[in-house]
Structures are given as structure tokens and as C-alpha cells.
Structure 1
Amino acid sequence: MDSVSRLVRLARLRGEIDVRCLMAGGFAIDHPPAGPGLVPFHLVLAGTCTITSAAFTADLKPGDLLLLPQGDAHQVTTTSDQRLEFTEARGRSFSTRRTTGAAPELDLFCGHYRVDEGAGALLFRLMPRVVHVSLDQPALALAEILRREATFDGPGTGVIVSALLDALLAMALRSRSGRRPDTPELWTAIGDDVLGKVICAVVDRPGEAWTIDRLAAAASMSRATFLRRFNARTGTTVATLLTGIRMMVAADLLTGSDHSVSRVAREVGYRSDSAFGQAFRAALGVLPSQYRKQIRHPEPSSGTSSNGPQ
């Protein structure tokens, strides 16, 4: 299994659409901060819009997917001076906002990915604050299927839409920034092929002794050159990325296997249970044994949960 596929599987994502916007004219719609375990996204299939937050402004065109890994509050706007009324109707799987009295100029899906508090949260924590990707032709073909399924909105739509959104995210994670020069490179699709092979090796074999010197040798670089190039191309440090990948695998093993904590530690490259426990708690806030107990035997919720950001 390739590294992107493995990361998406480890993250245990569940993509959902909250609102489909079929809009004309100008509007401004505010999105509050996302709750824990929710990563908002916006996908444009037709028309254009602008998304702004306190930290960024992004202009989206057809085929653009924007992710907000930190769940920042943001606003979706269009620039037309014409202000039109719109209605919102709830369907089987999501709501649809539709301008009244005018043909839609914008076809925009607003939704979120639900991620578990272990591997999924760590994956998005290793990403930039905003991820803006222009989808390639295969991804656009999937997006068109998504559009058709959303129009149908009948039995099975929920699970089909979720599968399509997961596939679109995988395609986004392997997209290189060459398609968008203003977008930082995602380490999941590193444009530097040499560094990319090194990172793939870490994802495939997290339990090996990946020292900086060994990684530099694998990349045929000096230690200083490797560190400089790695930080510049990935936007993070070797230690942060290595620990993040290892903790993602560890979280998956703790919940998906009966391996002892000691064996999980060895599987992800730790020879000391205490060192593994400290690293795991620093990443996820609890010790490995506590994490396993929380995931396998969660406390019953005392209130109702939200269906996601609107």
C-alpha cells in the first residue's frame, strides 16, 4: 500500500456534506470555528467565490478544493453587487441553499471530514492552516459523480458521497503545488522526488531507526543540506514529521490490534516503553493504555452532538 493510501486509512476519515450552495448574485456566509474532530472543506464545481479568515484569503474557481485543517472560522463571499434572496431546504443527506428567481452561478459544496482523535487528528495537525488544491482531471470526474449523486439525494446517497469525498481527499493529498504556485507543498505529495521517497520509507517502515544521518544518507545529501531542504520543502521539521507518523501508526495499532503497549512501542521504533509513553502523551494528551481504554470503552455522551458545521 502506498504512503498516501496508508495515511488516509489510518486517519479513519468520514466525509460529509453540510450544505450545497446553488447561488447567484452576491452574498456573504459566515462559518464559525469547527468543533473538535471536524475539518471543514469547500469544493467548487462551477462559478467562483472567495474564502477569508483572520489568517488567509483564497479565491476559488471550478475544480478547487479548500481544506481548513485547524477548523478556523471563515467567510464565503461572492463579489456581485446584486443581492438576491435564497432559500434553504433540508434533503435526505444535506441541505441545499438556492437563490430564488435566478439561475445558479455558483455550485459549491460545503462540508467537513470527521476524524478520530488519534491518527486522523495527527494527520491534519501536520498540515498547513489552509490547504488549497486545484483538482486534476480524474478528481474532477469524481467531483462530477458527486454532483450527480447530490442531485439525486436518495437512498444510499450518504455512503456514496462519503466514499467520493474520501477519494477526493486522497487525490488532494497527492497533488503537487506545481499546479498552484502560491500554495505550499504538502509533505504527503512532496514535489522533491528524493525527499518524497525518504518520507514514503518512513511511512512504510516507521519502526526502523530513522536518524537524521540515516535519512540524509538515503537522500544522498549531507546532514546540513538534508535538514535545510527538508524544512524548506515540507514546512515542518524531521523530528515533528517522524514523531507524527509514528504516533499515527501507534494510535491505529492500539485501537485495531491486541498488541501489548510494549509491542506497539517497538513497532513504531521505540525500545523504551517510558519514552514511547512520553511521546504518545505529548502528541495525544494521554498515555497509550489510557487512549486504548478511551477508544474501546468510551464514556456515554450526556448531550446531543452536532451534525457538523453549517
Structure 2
Amino acid sequence: MDAVSHLIRLARVDASLDKHCLLSRSTAMDVSYESERTAPFHVLLEGTCQLQVGAHLLELRPGDVVLIPGGEPHRIITSGPGHLRGIAERQGNAFTTTLTDGVGTPVIDLFCGHYTFGPGAGAILFKSLPEPVHISFGETPETDAALRMLSSLMRTEAASEGEGTAAILSSLSSILLTMILRTARGTTTDAALWTASANTAIVRVIERVLDNPGGDWSIARMSRLTSMSRATFIRQFERSTGTTFGAFVTRVRLMVAADLLQTTSFTVAGVAAEVGFKSESAFSRAFRQQTGSTPARFRRAAGA
């Protein structure tokens, strides 16, 4: 299984399309913090606007997607003269249609939704992503065509809003997440998406570790497998993924461990050994640092 598909399976992400926004000029739409382990996303289909989150002010164009892994509050702004106007919402069966309060011809066509994930592998994955992730799918013919096809399906389904619309839009939003995680270019920060390395040798390493997290993944072995010197492998891995190889291996081991704690009857010591930790205590410390919970408490909460 390829790396992104493997990560999506481990993370067990639920997707929801919440709003179809047709905003006029001089409009501000505030998006508040929803809940823990929730990551909002926005897809701009037509027009231009700004998205303000924390210290970042992003300029969005058609084909741009923004994912906010930490769920931070943010604001969507369309330019125009006069004071910024608010929004009016019309609740449908599957999603909300959002319009500028008062009159005005829409200048942007924007879909807004969110991903929800659990406290284990999903939380570790989203925590590891840059904040925010800003990708321009319109920059290359291949990604532009893929997003146009996806957005066309979303628009068609949103217009009909019939039986099963919510489920279909949720599935299409899940496809969008997969596209984000496999796209390396266009992130807002200098940090790369470690899920989307463009280096084929590094991709093979990532897939090997995901397939067998408990294996011997020493730098010496990796340099032999990739036919690189130790220093070159370390440099290429960090440049391609934005993280160190050691941090990556630990992250994958903990994601798989969370899955095993939820789906098997292995003891905590057995899970630790399965994913490559030398002792139960070392595993418990690392797991708690990443998830805020001990493995035993995490398992009890998942069972409940």
C-alpha cells in the first residue's frame, strides 16, 4: 500500500462539507474554533479572497485549498469599498448556503468543511502538518484537472441536494484530503508536507517504514538501501519531508501503536515490541508525549 493511503487508513478521518459560500464584495466571514481534533478546510472554486489565520494572511485564487490542522479560528474576506458586511445563512438538509448579508452579486464560490479525527493516529498525523497548509492545485495541468473534476461533482451534488447528498459530499471531501496529503508544492510555510515527498528514494523509505514500523530503521541501513552516504541521506530526508528521520520513525511507530491498541488484544508491552520500542517504559513516555495519554488509558477510552 502506498504511504498516503496507509496514513489515511490509520488516521480514520471523518469528513463533512458544511457550507457552500457565494459571497459578494466587502464581506467578512468568521469561522470559530469548533472542537478538539477538528481541522477546517476551504476550497476556492471561483474568484479571489483572503483568508486570515493567526499571523498568516493568505491570498486565495481559483484552485486553492487551505487546511487548518489545529482548528484555529480564522476569517474569510472579500475585497471591496466601504465597511465589511456580514453574512446570512440558509440551512439546507445537507449543508448551509452562506451569502453576503444584503444585496450583491457573488464574487467567490467557496466550499467549507472540516475533518474530524480521534486522539490516536489521526491526532498525531494532523499535529505533524504545517499550520496552515495552503496548496494551489491550479498551478499545474494535472492537479488543476483533478480539482476541477472534484469541484464539478461537489457543485452538482450541492445543487441537487437530494437523498444521500451529505454522504456523497463527505466522500468527496475525503478525496480532497488525500489530494492535499500527496501534494508537496504550494505549502504556506517553508515546512514540507512529510506525507508528500517528491524524492522517489525517500518515498520508498517512508513506505518501507509504514509497512514494518518495528524493523531496524537505523541511519546506516537507510543509507545502504538508498545508496547514499549517511550525511546525504540525512540531508535529503530532512529537505524532502521537513522532519528528521528519527522523528518520522517515532511518529509512524506511535500511529501504528495507537491503531493496535484500538484493534488488538496485545498487551501494552506487546504493542511496544511490535512497533520497535526497546522497552514498555520508553514506549509509554513517547506515546504520552504525543497523545497526552498513557497507552492503557488511551485503550480504555477507545473501548468506552
TM-score by length of 2: 0.90
| Equivalent residues of 1:4, 1:188 under 8 A apart | yes
What are the within-5 Å matches in structure 2 for residues 160-175 of structure 1?
A: 160-175=168-183
Q: Indicate how the Cα distance of structure 1 residues 152 and 169 shifts in structure 2: closer, same or farther if over 3 A, else same.
A: same
SS of the residue 2:76 aligns to = strand
Task: Measure, in 2, the Cα distance between the counterparts of 1:180 and 1:119.
Answer: 22
| Equivalent residues of 2:29, 2:87 under 8 A apart | no
Q: Indicate how the Cα distance of structure 1 residues 127 and 180 shifts in structure 2: closer, same or farther if over 3 A, else same.
A: closer
1:153 to 134, 156, 161: 161
Name the structure 2 match of 1:96. 97
What are the within-5 Å matches in structure 2 for residues 163-202 of structure 1?
A: 163-177=171-185, 184-202=191-209
SS of the residue 1:80 aligns to = coil
Runs of 4+ in 1 over 3 A off after TM superposition: 82-86, 99-103, 179-184
What are the within-5 Å matches in structure 2 for residues 20-59 of structure 1?
A: 20-59=20-59
Stretches of structure 1 that go unaligned for 5 or more consecutive residues are: 298-310
Q: Indicate how the Cα distance of structure 1 residues 146 and 117 shifts in structure 2: closer, same or farther if over 3 A, else same.
A: same
Q: Indicate how the Cα distance of structure 1 residues 276 and 109 shifts in structure 2: closer, same or farther if over 3 A, else same.
A: same
AA matched with 2:301: Q
How far is the alpha carbon of 1:105 from its aligned partner?
1.9
Does residue 253 in structure 1 map to residue 260 in structure 2? yes
> How many pairs were matched up?
296
Name the structure 2 match of 1:108. 110
AA matched with 1:162: S
How far is the alpha carbon of 1:208 from its aligned partner?
0.6
Name the structure 2 match of 1:243. 250
AA matched with 2:76: V
Name the structure 2 match of 1:305. none
What are the within-5 Å matches in structure 2 for residues 294-305 of structure 1?
A: 294-297=301-304
Q: Indicate how the Cα distance of structure 1 residues 270 and 77 shifts in structure 2: closer, same or farther if over 3 A, else same.
A: same
How far is the alpha carbon of 1:239 from its aligned partner?
2.1
CA RMSD of aligned residues (A): 2.1
Name the structure 2 match of 1:302. none
How far is the alpha carbon of 1:85 from its aligned partner?
6.8
Superposed CA offset, 1:249-280 (max 9, x none) = 11111112223323322221124222222221
Percent identity (aligned): 41
Q: Indicate how the Cα distance of structure 1 residues 212 and 60 shifts in structure 2: closer, same or farther if over 3 A, else same.
A: same
Task: Measure, in 1, the Cα distance between the counterparts of 2:87 and 2:299.
Answer: 47
Stretches of structure 2 that go unaligned for 5 or more consecutive residues are: 138-142
Task: Measure, in 1, the Cα distance between the counterparts of 2:190 and 2:20.
Answer: 25
How far is the alpha carbon of 1:174 from its aligned partner?
0.9
How far is the alpha carbon of 1:228 from its aligned partner?
2.5
1:117 to 109, 116, 119: 119
SS of the residue 2:243 aligns to = coil
Superposed CA offset, 1:40-61 (max 9, x none) = 1111111111112223121111
What are the within-5 Å matches in structure 2 for residues 258-277 of structure 1?
A: 258-277=265-284
AA matched with 1:51: L
How far is the alpha carbon of 1:282 from its aligned partner?
1.8
Larger displacement relative to structure 2 (213-222 or 153-162): 213-222
Does residue 133 in structure 1 map to residue 141 in structure 2? no
Q: Indicate how the Cα distance of structure 1 residues 27 and 269 shifts in structure 2: closer, same or farther if over 3 A, else same.
A: same
Task: Measure, in 2, the Cα distance between the counterparts of 1:217 and 1:34.
Answer: 47
Superposed CA offset, 1:282-301 (max 9, x none) = 2112221211111111xxxx
Name the structure 2 match of 1:64. 64
Task: Measure, in 1, the Cα distance between the counterparts of 2:69 and 2:50.
Answer: 18
SS of the residue 1:97 aligns to = strand
| Equivalent residues of 2:51, 2:59 under 8 A apart | yes
